[in-house]
Amino acid sequence: MPIQVDRRSSLSDSDVATLFDRHYRALTNLAHLLLGDRALAEDAVMEAFERVLSVRRRLRDPQRADRYLRRAVVNNCRSRQRRAQVEIRANTRHHTAEPPQRSELDRRDEAIIEAIRTLPIRQRAAIVLRYLEDRSEAETAVILGCSIGTVKSQLSKGRRALRQALEQEET
């Protein structure tokens, strides 16, 4: 027998609108840092909101819808990154890839952002959530759907890779 969700505990249209108003900019910034493209980031965030709308009556804890959204954005970015890598491999046989678009960040931060973009997606997501969004290791683990130990491991590997990349950049 399926579990019935109390309709009073689901998200209303006004709840979704409030979520959008409160979290859209931060989620778009997160996706932009993960994907490196503002338009793709906005698409990823909008897809996450579409998912919330489609499953809002089935959310176990509507009070944590923001976590669901953040996790959906990260997963969406991972999927887009994987698809982009496949496309790049296929297209490099025929074309040379275009250079990535520059963001509006100042020059000092560009080197750090470029180094973050070279990390594998799991390390990149952990670094962005933990340090740029100032999430705890536990929150990062929940958003990424992994253990705290995995988050610590990904952070350690990511920091090491960033340190090496930035040292090479300086020399």
Instruction: List pLDDT tens digits, range 16-72.
Output: 888 899 999 999 999 999 988 899 999 999 999 888 888 877 777 778 888 888 999
The boundaries of every CATH 1.10.10.10 domain in the chain are 104-171
What CATH number is given for 104-171 in this structure?
1.10.10.10
Helix/strand/coil (H, E, C) string of 27-53? HHHHHHHHHCCHHHHHHHHHHHHHHHH
Answer for the pair 165, 116: CB distance below 8 angstroms, yes or no.
Answer: no
d(CA 77, CA 121): 9
How much is the pLDDT for 156? 95
Q: Rounded CA gap, 71 and 23, in Å? A: 13
Return the DSSP state at 94: T
- Percentage of the chain beyond pLDDT 70 is 84
Model pLDDT, residue 139? 93
Query: What per-residue confidence (pLDDT) applies to 17?
Result: 86
Q: Give the model's confidence band at 140: pLDDT under 50 very low, under 70 low, under 90 confident, else very high.
A: very high
pLDDT tens digits for 68-110? 889 999 999 998 888 877 777 777 766 654 555 554 456 667 7
Q: How many CB atoms lie within 10 A of CB 143?
A: 24
For residue 81, the model assigns a pLDDT of 85
Taking only the tens place, the pLDDT of each residue in 58-70 is 777 778 888 888 9
Return phi, psi of residue 57, to 5°: -80, -15
Residue 169's contacts (CB-CB under 8 Å, 6 or more residues apart) are: 111, 115
Of residues 37, 31, 132, the one with CA closest to residue 73: 31
Rounded Cα gap, residues 65 and 148, in angstroms: 21
pLDDT digits (tens, 9 = 90+) for 102-133: 544 566 677 888 889 889 999 999 999 998 88
- Spatial CB neighbours of 166, under 8 Å, sequence gap ≥ 6: 111, 112, 115
**DSSP conformational letter for 64:** G
Helix (H) or strand (E) run with residue 163 in it: helix 148-170
